[in-house]
Amino acid sequence: MEYLENRELSWLKFNKRVIEEAVDANNPLLERLSFSAIYQSNLDEFFMVRVGSLTDDEKENNKKTDSKSGMTPSQQLDSIFTAVRRLQPKVEDAFRKNMEELAAYGYEHVSFANATAEEQAFLELYFKREIKPFITGILVNDSLPFPFLKNKELYAAVHISSQKGAIVGIIPVAHEHSERIIPLGRDGKRFILHEEVVLQFAHLMFKGCKIRDRAIIRVTRNADIMVNNKGADFRERMEELVVKRTKLAAVRLEITNEFNRVALDYICKKLKIKNVRVFNSNIPLDLSYLFRLQELDQSPELHFESRLPRKSAMLAENRSVFTQVKSRDILLSYPFESMTTSFIRLLEESAADPKVTSIKITLYRLARNSKVISALCTAAEHGKEVLVMIELRARFDEANNIEWSKILQKAGVKVIYGPKEFKAHSKLLLIKRKSTGDKFDYITQIGTGNYNEKTAALYTDLMLLTADREIAEDAEQVFDSLLKGTFVENTNKLLVSPYALLPQVLEMMDEQIELAKNGGKGYIAAKVNSLNDKSIIAKLVEASQAGVKIELLVRGICCIIPGVEGYTENITVRSIVGRFLEHSRIFIFGRDGMEQKIYIGSADFMSRNTIRRVEVAAPVEDEKLKKRIRDMFRTMMSDNVKARELQSSGRYVRVEAKEGEAPLNSQEYFYEEAYRRLEAKAVRQERMKEVRAKKQTAKTTAKKTRKSTKKTNK
């Protein structure tokens, strides 16, 4: 179909938008370099997961075709490799240009050839004393075993002269005492990379051998593991799988510069990898060190303007969060508002509150020093019933979650895991508190992002706190089903996948289709990270054909192409890639008014979320909060600084301000708004103090007057 896009190629277009930020002159210089590192990190994960999965599909059933592109796994892989190679010159140019500009601030990435004679002597001594004693060079040929190359680790590879055929030397670059950046000046801005020094002196690792060629190599391995939650030893099996994943098959080999073809073919043979999976790079293979460079110079022009999350204007400091939520629903917006002074505060207050009897929560990804875990452990130690569903299959966080589960259990928390074959990705909290007599009050929290203090300062997310009893009943039902290993089928208000989310979303879309068919103005809007669910795409096409106006904010994968005549001409798709990672999910059905339905939740419009995970979305029913979300969505759709619009050709084009239109960066706007809301709250509080003071003065004056009158009368 001409209005459908392949999932993998759509994701690569998203990463192209990331690298575009590395060449955007409106971004500070060191931040531009960070986008280069983010691009590379994203691509690493893409190869580990998506290319790994397609590689497995290619081996198992290469005749299977992708429904959105008609390509087999082999054809998809070929398209991926071609697209990645086409992007590489752009990646290298961005890196070089930014590093050249940094020279004006004293930064210089020195090659050994460009180092001074004094520096070269220092580096040779440094290699002999600080590096060589901790690493080992391994010779390999057909009679010698090939070493295991760890995922994403750097190695120096050398081609050694031999009459017996190819002999390759492999040197692991990193060791526990190594520093990636070796400073050549006091401020650290003039530097050389650790692997470049190892490569320069690789011949000292193989005495008596003649080195013909040398290069840095890096292997990316398949990380696509999945295990069903079956049996009591699930955590132990997950621990085994985390270790096993490090030894899965190689799916990519990266290499710097040119390298002897015979030696390279030999390495590929030993890795069991085809030459089409070899990618050359003329810049460092691991750009993560660029984040370290940010610490070396605090010049304001090199960094984004410092932004700190504000306290929520909806929360007062002198009353408990629980009490405030009882009186009205509260919406929190990260990173513009602080998680610590809102959600963490609620957890800590609940842990200490003697009237709180139980806390139930789902956990997916957590910060390294998690205050969430600390509060839950405190609650359990205070005798409260604490139930935690922690998802051990959260990709690349499996080891962390395994350790957190042990800590929670040790503190007396009841720990359960996601249901078998389905990850629990929901962001759900339920707190139960004694009220009067035998009655209880409930607070339910439903969010779009993880309970993670670190990412809450980097990702845009929303969180709803409500005392709605029907939502609490639904939340209780979700936790009961997680305990039993079953799924929620019917709810009062919450949308809960895999059974009670997709049908309701499609039904609400149908309502807008019927409205349009009957002469009304149907409207559907959504903000998601990704869109590839077949049934949702089909329904969006049907809605567009019926005349429903559809606005989509899709950060990453988008498998529907808008503007295709006869199919998607009423659909607009925009993507925002900026300083913060767009992560919130919003669903809107209907135009402004009482009939409009708005939801926020954890689910994207992807089949993995709608039919293969436990996800939760909640209705936003307070009219003020609905207006706030509508305004947020409109602001993002009006972004003319960081937004791109998807064209009918499949290309993304940056949205630019029209003549006379002011630039609008939605993320910066929301930060400014958070500042303004808090300032306005402070002004209101000062005015209230003044009013109270005047009332008190008037009261005192009246009292004195009455006393004076009484004396006069006497």
What mean pLDDT do residues 335-354 have? 96
175 catalytic residue (yes or no): no
> In this model, does residue 231 exceed pLDDT 80?
no
**Predicted pLDDT at 438:** 86
> Among 109, 159, 425, 583, which one carries the catalytic annotation?
425
pTM reported for the whole predicted model:
0.92
- Neighbouring residues of 329: CB distance < 8 A, sequence distance ≥ 6: 464, 465, 466, 467, 468, 620, 621, 622, 625
> In this model, does residue 714 exceed pLDDT 60?
no
Of 309, 311, 308, 321, the residue nearest 352 (C-alpha)? 321
**Predicted pLDDT at 685:** 65
Q: Are 584 and 505 spatial neighbours (Cβ–Cβ below 8 Å)?
A: no
How big is the chain by its Cα radius of gyration, in Å?
A: 29
Q: Are 615 and 425 spatial neighbours (Cβ–Cβ below 8 Å)?
A: yes
> In this model, does residue 235 exceed pLDDT 80?
yes
**Predicted pLDDT at 230:** 64
Lowest mean pLDDT among 136-145, 254-263, 586-595: 136-145
- Neighbouring residues of 647: CB distance < 8 A, sequence distance ≥ 6: 562, 563, 653
**Predicted pLDDT at 147:** 92
> In this model, does residue 166 exceed pLDDT 70?
no
Q: Give 628-658 pLDDT, tens digit per residue.
A: 999 999 999 999 999 999 999 999 999 999 9
Q: What are the CB-based long-range contacts (under 8 Å, 24+) for 597-600?
A: 597/508, 598/626, 598/629, 598/630, 599/495, 600/446, 600/447, 600/448, 600/462, 600/464, 600/629
d(CA 422, CA 227): 10
CA distances from 237 to 233, 243, 507, 583, 614 (A): 6, 10, 40, 31, 22
Within 620-706, strands assigned E span 643-646, 652-654
246 falls in which pLDDT band (50, 70, 90)?
A: confident
d(CA 158, CA 255): 12
> In this model, does residue 713 exceed pLDDT 90?
no
686 falls in which pLDDT band (50, 70, 90)?
A: low
* The token pair that represents 571 in the structure block: 């659909």
Three-state DSSP string of 355-402: CEEEEEEEECCCCCCCHHHHHHHHHHHCCCEEEEEECCCCCCCHHHHH
705 falls in which pLDDT band (50, 70, 90)?
A: confident
> In this model, does residue 594 exceed pLDDT 90?
no
What mean pLDDT do residues 292-318 have? 93
Q: Give 604-619 pLDDT, tens digit per residue.
A: 999 999 999 999 999 9
**Beta strands 581-582 and 459-466: pairing type?**
parallel
Q: Give 524-559 pLDDT, tens digit per residue.
A: 999 999 999 999 999 999 999 999 999 999 999 999
484 falls in which pLDDT band (50, 70, 90)?
A: very high
Q: What does pLDDT average to over the chain? A: 93
